Amino acid sequence: MSNEIVVNLYGRIFVRGNIRAMTGLHIGRGKEGLEIGGVDNAVVRDPLTNRPYIPGSSLKGKMRSLWEKMTGAEQSFLIGRIKGKEVRVHVCEDLEMYQGCPVCPIYGVPGDKGSSNPTRLVVRDVLLSDAEADRLEQQAHTDLPYTEVKWEAAIDRVTSAATPRPMERVPAGTCFESLEMVFSVYEPDDLRRFVHVLEAMQLLQDDYLGGLGSRGSGKIVFESLRISVRSRKDYGREEKWTEIPQAADDRPQVSLVLEEPNREKLVTWLKEQIPFEPYSA
């Protein structure tokens, strides 16, 4: 008997749209390479265009963190230390744990674990469009190209002395276009897991992205979302779901946690689009 694991890709589900920063957005790049006299906590930028962007790793990582909190997943895996404190995430160590886990099948586990399986969710970097970059250049009165510098002060609790710190942020109202999340379907349970991805997006919209969130930064909304499917049966054809409810004020923002009957309609539609049948050439 063979011990080889067979992986069947039955199809992929795509979520596309935009992300709008409702308050200033700070996703840092660390302190490497900063010039003398530069701002503290500079934002990450595209090295070719010098435009700020949202790394897919930041987006996916925050969604995973919030979903771990929502499901009460044990923080079992040590990934490092920051300022002497341990940083842990949830990772299933074996296949039995993995099969019943609400987190790892969606967001993945390290390849050296006994529970290693294909990751369902891929999240791309989200960039500024040329049009939005032009708007920031021509209309926004920014301190740096495409960004503002927000001054904050750390107050000594004993002496009341203030230590000012400049923080770089993308201005409120900036729209990052070309959001794309790709969810691979390997088994029937993945259709329900995809709904959990939408729930994690709602959790993120109600929380914050990047740093300084408890001080007002990082509120975002997803706009102009579109869901589509490519099935293994006919991978060249992309089918679009058309029943995403629009916001009452006609803004291109949608309800992410789909209420019934829309949630069940989505799952039913996905079952129709992605048949779990053997591959035939």
φ/ψ (deg, to 5) at 56: -60, -30
Neighbours of 152 (CB within 10 A): 14
Identify any residues that bridge with 123 across adjacent strands, giving them in sequence order: 181
Q: Which residues of the chain have pLDDT under 50?
A: 1-2, 32-37, 252
Enter the pTM of the model.
Answer: 0.87
The residue among 25, 31, 14, 12 whose CA lies nearest residue 204 is 25
Query: What pLDDT sits at residue 269?
Result: 93
Task: Dig out the tokens for 79 from the structure.
Answer: 């990934």
pLDDT at 31: 54
CA distance 251 to 174: 15
Q: In this predicted structure, what is the pLDDT of residue 1?
A: 40
Question: What is the SS3 assignment for 19?
Answer: strand
Question: What are the tens digits of pLDDT across the range 190-230?
Answer: 999 999 999 999 999 999 999 888 888 999 999 888 899 99
pLDDT reported for residue 257: 64
